[in-house]
């Protein structure tokens, strides 16, 4: 078999593949040349320079796998590859250690004023008294997001005799106890921590999750680190908080716009350390991502499972024809229960009812898990790694099949148990369109097309109208509305289909409406 390494793959990755395959290295390959030669190859390796378009994939008659030596796969047409049964892999964990260590380096630099001390000493100054630092020992580190990197930072901080308190809605007690980490709410972390580091994905819910209001509740002298995603910490608010002495300092590696523009609010602020997105920039990480994809390509060409696939695992054409229309619905049911559950999810039960029980529904269950975890995981969750991520979090997954489906030809029921709450959501297809037909005890008919706002409320005049007015005043368009009734007299469930993001302050206004019991935004773009 032949492998084409199209741009910038490390020598170590090439050597690994050469043990079993013929490998042609063609760096900086023009698009027209790639199109001309791709029919010869069984596998293609790229970084970010080569664009693997639908046309390239169509020409690659022998292609079995495309490997991206890095995290992002924006330069690969994944739907086109999936349609042709080509596996696409990346290297989501190859830079974990690099990002973890960079976070620790930023924390130590903050604690001991290393960048400014070096700069002034190089200029001939000697400012020992001016740059007195603080020790990590005995301090409390707040970790927001306990994925691979957040967990790695927590482990290393404990080696410095730091106490670690973590906020992650989906970490359970067993895993936290095994890591010797205290688990709290976001407010607990904000109030108790001396250092706070964020390791969350950037979503509408996490964007700006640490702003001036949160900083005002923090300990005086707190220090903030962001090596995850730009925008999780509000940059303008951070500059203000450091200037006003609310925050002692910050170390930021990622920004809302990169490279940062002239006049950026964080530039030139004493006490703020800035690096140009260096989290993954180590020699070892670059080698690591190349070795990761080389291992994946080797496995795929030898007919073995590939753990880092970003598109769906192989399914027979017969089964795929039956389950394909349900995949998006399954993901969105998972996303919905994730948004409604409170606290760490302990178990997920997926029940299939009706004719769909006659085929293997394992991929649909994986889709539910993918939809549930993607909005809250720092790493991208796909059809291959979703079960592993659920296992890491000690989430029990159960699949149940019932031959008859009450009122529907086919029905998918997802029930999750969290620490203090149980949530059930049901969905089916009307034609080829997925619909959510029940949320807990409420019968609904909801098109989960973009975002939905779920509000249990008292059944009385004025409640729904008030919410609509709030949305209108905020220029948020409501494209659909459903009101579900239950057996509990006077209690209804309003579900609004929303075309725009809902800022946190608007969501708070909705929750404060007299007669509204709660308001949960489900953002399907997060999956």
Question: Could you list the active site residues?
Answer: 229, 258, 277
257: number of Cβ within 10 Å: 10
Sheet holding 182-183, edge to edge: 182-183, 163-167, 140-144, 195-198, 222-226, 247-252, 272-274
Give the separation between CA 507 and CA 471, rounded to whole angstroms.
Answer: 9
Q: Are 24 and 80 spatial neighbours (Cβ–Cβ below 8 Å)? A: no
174: number of Cβ within 10 Å: 12
Q: Tally the residues of the chain.
A: 527
Question: Residue 237: enclosing H or E segment and its boundaries?
Answer: helix 235-243
Give the separation between CA 430 and CA 328, rounded to whole angstroms.
Answer: 13
| Rg for the chain, CA atoms, rounded | 25
The C-alpha angle with vertex 128 and arms to 122 and 129, in degrees rounded to 5, equals 140
Structure tokens given for 526:
């997060």
Structure tokens given for 217:
């509740």
Q: Which residues contact 383 (CB under 8 A, 6 or more apart)?
A: 309, 311, 312, 313, 363, 366, 367, 370
Structure tokens given for 467:
């919410």
Q: Which residues contact 275 (CB under 8 A, 6 or more apart)?
A: 102, 106, 251, 252, 253
Q: Which of 110, 116, 156 is nearest to 134 (CA)?
A: 110
Task: Concatenate the DSSP letters of all residues of 208-222 into one string.
Answer: T-B-HHHHHTSPTTE
> Tokens 């900083």, residue?
215
SS3 425: strand
Task: Concatenate the DSSP letters of all residues of 177-195 into one string.
Answer: HHTT-EE--HHHHHHH-SE
Give the separation between CA 78 and CA 84, rounded to whole angstroms.
Answer: 10
Give the separation between CA 411 and CA 424, rounded to whole angstroms.
Answer: 13
Q: What is the distance, to the nearest Å, from the Cα of residue 249 to the centroid of all Cα atoms in its chain?
A: 27
Give the separation between CA 55 and CA 31, rounded to whole angstroms.
Answer: 10
């Amino acid at each position: 078999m032949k492998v084409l390494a199209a741009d910038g793959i490390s020598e170590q990755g090439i050597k690994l593949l050469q043990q079993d395959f013929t490998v042609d290295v063609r760096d900086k390959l023009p698009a027209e040349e790639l199109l001309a030669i791709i029919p010869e190859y069984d596998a293609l390796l790229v970084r970010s320079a080569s664009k693997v378009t639908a046309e390239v994939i169509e020409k690659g008659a022998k292609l079995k796998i495309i490997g991206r030596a890095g995290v992002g796969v924006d330069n690969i047409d994944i739907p086109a590859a999936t349609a042709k049964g080509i596996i696409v892999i990346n290297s989501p964990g190859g830079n974990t250690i690099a990002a973890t260590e960079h976070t620790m380096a930023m924390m130590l630099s903050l604690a001991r004023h290393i960048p400014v001390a070096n700069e002034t000493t190089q200029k001939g100054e000697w400012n020992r008294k001016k740059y007195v630092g603080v020790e990590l020992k005995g301090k409390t580190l707040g970790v927001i997001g306990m994925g691979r990197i957040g967990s790695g930072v927590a482990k290393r901080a404990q080696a410095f005799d730091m106490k670690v308190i973590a906020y992650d809605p989906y970490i359970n007690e067993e895993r936290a106890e095994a890591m010797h980490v205290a688990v709290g709410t976001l407010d607990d972390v904000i109030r108790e921590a001396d250092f706070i580091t964020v390791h969350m994905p950037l979503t509408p819910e996490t964007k700006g999750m640490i702003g001036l209001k949160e900083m005002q509740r923090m300990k005086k002298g707190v220090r903030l680190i962001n090596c995850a995603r730009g925008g999780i910490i509000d940059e303008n608010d951070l500059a203000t908080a450091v200037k006003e002495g609310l925050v002692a300092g910050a170390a930021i590696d990622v920004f809302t716009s990169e490279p940062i523009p002239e006049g950026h609010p964080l530039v030139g602020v004493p006490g703020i350390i800035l690096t140009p997105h260096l989290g993954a920039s180590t020699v070892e990480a670059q080698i690591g991502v190349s070795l990761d994809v080389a291992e994946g390509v080797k496995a795929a060409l030898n007919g073995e499972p590939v753990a880092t696939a970003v598109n769906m695992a192989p399914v027979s054409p017969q089964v795929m024809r039956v389950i394909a229309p349900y995949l998006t619905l399954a993901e969105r049911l998972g996303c919905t229960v994730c948004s409604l559950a409170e606290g760490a999810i302990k178990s997920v039960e997926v029940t299939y009812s009706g004719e769909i029980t006659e085929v293997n529904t394992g991929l649909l269950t994986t889709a539910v898990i993918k939809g549930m975890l993607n909005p809250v995981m720092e790493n991208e969750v796909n059809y291959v790694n979703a079960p592993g991520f659920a296992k890491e979090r000690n989430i029990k997954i159960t699949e149940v099949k019932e031959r008859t489906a009450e009122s529907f030809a086919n029905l998918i029921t997802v029930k999750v148990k969290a620490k203090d709450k149980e949530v059930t959501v049901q969905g089916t297809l009307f034609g080829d369109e997925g619909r959510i037909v029940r949320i807990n005890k409420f019968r609904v008919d909801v098109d989960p097309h973009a975002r939905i706002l779920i509000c249990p409320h008292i059944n009385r005049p004025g409640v729904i109208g008030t919410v609509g007015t709030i949305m209108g005043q905020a220029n948020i368009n409501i494209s659909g509305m459903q009101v579900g009734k239950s057996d509990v007299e006077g209690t209804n469930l309003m579900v609004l289909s929303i075309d725009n993001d809902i800022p946190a302050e608007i969501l708070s206004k909705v929750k404060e409406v007299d007669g509204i019991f709660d308001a949960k935004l489900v953002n399907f773009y997060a999956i």
